[in-house]
Amino acid sequence: MSLNISPTFASPQVAAQDQQALKKVWENIQPDSCPYFYNFHMHTRCSDGQLEPEELIQQAISIGLKGLAITDHHSVAGYFAAQSFLEQWQQSSKPTTIPHLWTGVEITSDLLGTDVHILGYAFDPKHPNLQPYLHNQVSSPKIPQAAQVITAIQQAGGLAVLAHPARYRRSLEQLIPGAADLGIDGVETYYAYSNPKPWQPSPKQTKKVKELSAIYNLFNTCGTDTHGSNLLWRV
């Protein structure tokens, strides 16, 4: 399912931080929304991915994505490179539809004594409260508390999401309520835990996550968690 989300390249900061547009998309996310319409979890060479940001955007355009976010670990360098490429692409007057690009990041943090990944979206990438977490390293020498990360993302005008909740040492039945208690906005509901090709969300985990997201009134998101050279699967 796709929505008509038109990027505003006359003011890229507005497009990147358009929280209401992102909420509208998430309210309508379905199991088949990813990877051909929306993808909110992808990595570039700016962290631990194989694609240059420009290559990622070229693939996104080729696939026909309506909207996306690059979620490099502790870095927004990929976002800035992709934003610049999209602006140049539009100015070249190519007829291809251009996807809406939101800011994104993936930050390692501690939740209930377990290392988890918090995804941030539609935030001001230059906000001072977020800078301590944007150190451009895949891993952190000191793991911050999830409460601090969630608060920083939201203070920067963004939305915070618990990534792949069924991949951690603690159960999703513990982690999702714990994250909800800290004020998290959403959870990565549609995720392919066994890396199938073609990509599709794992039915068992999806069912459990959706049940909990409904209880705690959280947004459902989706993403391939691409680290390789193809946006249609994880590696």
What is the value of pTM for the model shown? 0.93
Domain assignment of residue 140, yes or no:
yes
Domain assignment of residue 230, yes or no:
no
Q: Which domain holds residue 132?
A: 12-222
CB 135 within 8 A of CB 73: no
- Identify the pLDDT of residue 141: 76
Q: How many domains is the chain built from?
A: 1
Domain assignment of residue 231, yes or no:
no
- Identify the pLDDT of residue 169: 95
Rounded to an integer, what distance in angstroms lies between the CA atom of residue 60 and that of residue 67? Answer: 9
Report residue 10's pLDDT band, with 50, 70 and 90 as the boundaries: very low
CB 179 within 8 A of CB 109: no
CB 4 within 8 A of CB 186: no
- pLDDT tens, residue by residue, 180-206: 999 999 999 999 999 998 899 999 999
- Identify the pLDDT of residue 62: 94
Rounded to the nearest 10°, the torsion over CA 57, 58, 62, 64 is: 20
- Identify the pLDDT of residue 176: 98
Domain assignment of residue 229, yes or no:
no
Residue 225 DSSP SS3: coil
Q: Is pLDDT at 7 greater than 90 in this prediction?
A: no
Domain assignment of residue 207, yes or no:
yes
**What CATH number does the domain containing 112 carry?**
3.20.20.140
Domain assignment of residue 134, yes or no:
yes
Rounded to an integer, what distance in angstroms lies between the CA atom of residue 159 and that of residue 185? Answer: 6
